[in-house]
């Protein structure tokens, strides 16, 4: 990569961002495609000032991460309809034209989760159980509904779980009970099982019978306890790196207008996690 006066700048806005794997993934993708672009971490505590910086410093796009995914909506000029439904944006495209500079917000988290699942199972007319009631569960739930799947929310907090289920128009059930309706897909959208608690699973192993596909959004470790338990039941297991990969693929394509080098990006992520 050679940075010069024509290099276009992209980045990730959040607090913190130093742990993010996105710079590695996107920079290797830009290099593989001979794109004169660079992607950098942009730590900020002032979201409004950061977005003004995008307009004034010729930055062409950013990822948005915690704690700004919801707050950013009120500061954008345009929002993708699905992102508006989800109530969160993780990708901003800076559009410059005769009418001025416009910040367009999108959400690729749901695209990432859907694509990770579609590699293994048809979503339309399938049923999925989502563990958790936070922002990740919300994005994944709306994405599944967009794909024509049925959804059931399971969570420790009945108040939060029922609220999300009501917004999605779906069922809710307690975490360690069997779902109200049989489902082929189980998705952990919580942080349970993440290092250092990597021997913990969000649900009892005995509840995994009947699922065809088990996906965990946690990617450190790659093989969480939930995925190990799922494999013991013969389930197809999808690790969290796949969702991270495919949401990044969608971002790359929004920013460049060209197909992403998926395998290059996958190798970058796998290399980082293995280290």
Catalytic residues: 69
- Give ∠ CA 83-10-241 in degrees, rounded to 5: 65
- Minimal CA–CA distance to 151: which of 198, 119, 186? 186
**Which parts of the chain fold into alpha helices (H)?**
22-32, 47-56, 81-86, 109-118, 135-146, 158-168, 225-232, 240-256, 262-274
How far is the CA of 58 from the CAs of 42, 98, 206, 255, in angstroms?
14, 15, 54, 14
Residues, the chain, total? 275
Residue 186's H or E segment, with its range, is strand 185-188
Neighbouring C-alpha atoms within 13 Å toward the C-beta of 171: 16
Would you call 88 exposed, middle or buried from its count of C-beta atoms within 10 A (0-12, 13-18, 19+)? buried
- Bin 39: left if φ > 0, else alpha if -120 < ψ < 50, else beta: beta
Grouping H, G, I as helix, E, B as strand and the rest as coil, residue 165 is: helix
Residue 38's H or E segment, with its range, is strand 37-43
């Amino acid at each position: 990569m050679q940075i010069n006066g024509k290099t276009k700048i992209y980045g990730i806005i959040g607090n913190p961002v130093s742990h993010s794997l996105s710079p590695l993934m996107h920079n290797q993708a830009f290099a593989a495609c001979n794109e004169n672009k660079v992607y950098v971490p942009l730590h900020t505590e002032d979201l409004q000032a950061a977005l003004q910086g995008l307009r004034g410093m010729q930055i062409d796009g950013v990822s948005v991460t915690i704690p700004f995914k919801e707050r950013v909506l009120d500061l954008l000029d345009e929002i993708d309809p699905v992102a508006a439904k989800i109530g969160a944006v993780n990708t901003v495209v800076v559009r410059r034209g005769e009418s001025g500079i416009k910040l367009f917000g999108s959400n690729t988290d749901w695209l990432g989760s859907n694509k990770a699942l579609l590699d293994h199972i048809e979503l339309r007319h399938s049923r999925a159980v989502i563990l958790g009631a936070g922002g990740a569960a919300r994005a994944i739930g709306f994405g599944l509904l967009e794909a024509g799947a049925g959804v059931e929310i399971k969570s420790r907090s009945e108040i939060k779980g029922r609220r999300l289920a009501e917004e999605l128009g779906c069922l809710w059930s307690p975490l360690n009970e069997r779902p109200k309706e049989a489902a082929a897909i189980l998705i952990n959208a919580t942080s349970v099982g993440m290092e250092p608690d990597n021997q913990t699973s969000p649900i009892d192993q005995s509840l995994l019978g009947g699922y065809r596909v088990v996906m965990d959004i946690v990617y450190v470790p790659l093989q969480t306890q939930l995925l190990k338990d799922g494999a013991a039941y013969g389930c197809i297991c999808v690790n969290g790196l796949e969702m991270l990969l495919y949401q990044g693929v969608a971002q790359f394509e929004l920013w460049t207008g060209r197909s992403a080098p998926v395998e290059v990006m996958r190798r970058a992520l796998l290399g980082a996690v293995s280290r």
